[in-house]
Amino acid sequence: MKRTTPIDTIMIHCTATPPRREVSVAELNRWHEAARFEPYVDPKTGIKTYAGYHLLVHLDGSYERIRPDDQRGQHCPQSNMNNRAVSICYVGGVDNNNKPCDTRTEAQKRTLLTLVRTMRGRYPKAQIVGHRDYAPKACPSFDAKKEYSAI
Ligand SMILES: [Zn+2]
């Protein structure tokens, strides 16, 4: 579904998976379909994408586009964020006991920084926040607001 408000937020998430455990878009699709997230339907192919983020950053620092920016995500219902925010998710975010933990690899940190800068260039007035700034959660297991405050 298309957004009905301009993007004013860049929101960082994690997959809440342990160190060295990769997550594919296909797997995210299964999780988010099971959670009954509203899918993005590709107008050309009719293919439904349930994964709710816009971008996914893998352990090796590569990333995948999941939803176009002009489409609503499904990642934070609070404060109308699905309509307002573009979302970037990194793979990881908990330790081996499922406790919140900043597990980002150096490659993920570099890619996240590049993507946040790119988004900030595209949406100069957008605030940069973590999911936890809008919901009672630990996600993304680091202080995104602070880390990206100079961008
Ligand atoms: Zn999140």
**Rounded CA separation 11/75 (Å):** 9
Residue 98 sits at φ, ψ, to 5 deg, of 65, 25
Distance 12 CA to ligand 1 centre (A): 7
Distance 47 CA to ligand 1 centre (A): 24
Which residue's entry shows tokens 């940069």?
128
Say what the pLDDT of residue 2 is.
92
CATH number of the domain enclosing 80: 3.40.80.10
Structure token pair of residue 103: 């597990």
Say what the pLDDT of residue 35 is.
96
135 located within any domain = yes
67 located within any domain = yes
Distance 73 CA to ligand 1 centre (A): 12
129 located within any domain = yes
Distance 88 CA to ligand 1 centre (A): 9
What's the burial of 124, exposed, middle or buried (CB within 10 Å: 0-12/13-18/19+)?
exposed
Q: Which residues, 6 or more positions from 26, have their beta carbon under 8 angstroms from its beta carbon?
A: none
84 located within any domain = yes
Say what the pLDDT of residue 54 is.
98
Report if pTM > 0.85. Answer: yes
Say what the pLDDT of residue 141 is.
98
Q: Which domain holds residue 109?
A: 9-147
Say what the pLDDT of residue 62 is.
98
Q: What tens digit of pLDDT does each residue of 77-112 get?
A: 999 999 999 999 999 999 999 999 999 999 999 999
Say what the pLDDT of residue 139 is.
98
63 forms bridges with which residues in the sheet?
Answer: 57
Distance 13 CA to ligand 1 centre (A): 4
Structure token pair of residue 131: 């999911």
3 located within any domain = no
Q: What tens digit of pLDDT does each residue of 5-40 get?
A: 999 999 999 999 999 999 999 999 999 999 999 999
Structure token pair of residue 29: 């699709």
Quote the number of domains for the chain: 1
Q: What tens digit of pLDDT does each residue of 36-93 get?
A: 999 999 999 999 999 999 999 999 999 999 999 999 999 999 999 999 999 999 999 9
Distance 43 CA to ligand 1 centre (A): 27
2 located within any domain = no
Which residue's entry shows tokens 């298309």?
2
Cis peptide before 140 (omega within 30 of 0): yes
Distance 140 CA to ligand 1 centre (A): 6
Q: Are strands 63-65 and 85-90 parallel, antiparallel or unpaired?
A: unpaired
117 located within any domain = yes
Say if CB 114 and CB 106 are below 8 A apart: no
Residue 136 sits at φ, ψ, to 5 deg, of -75, 70
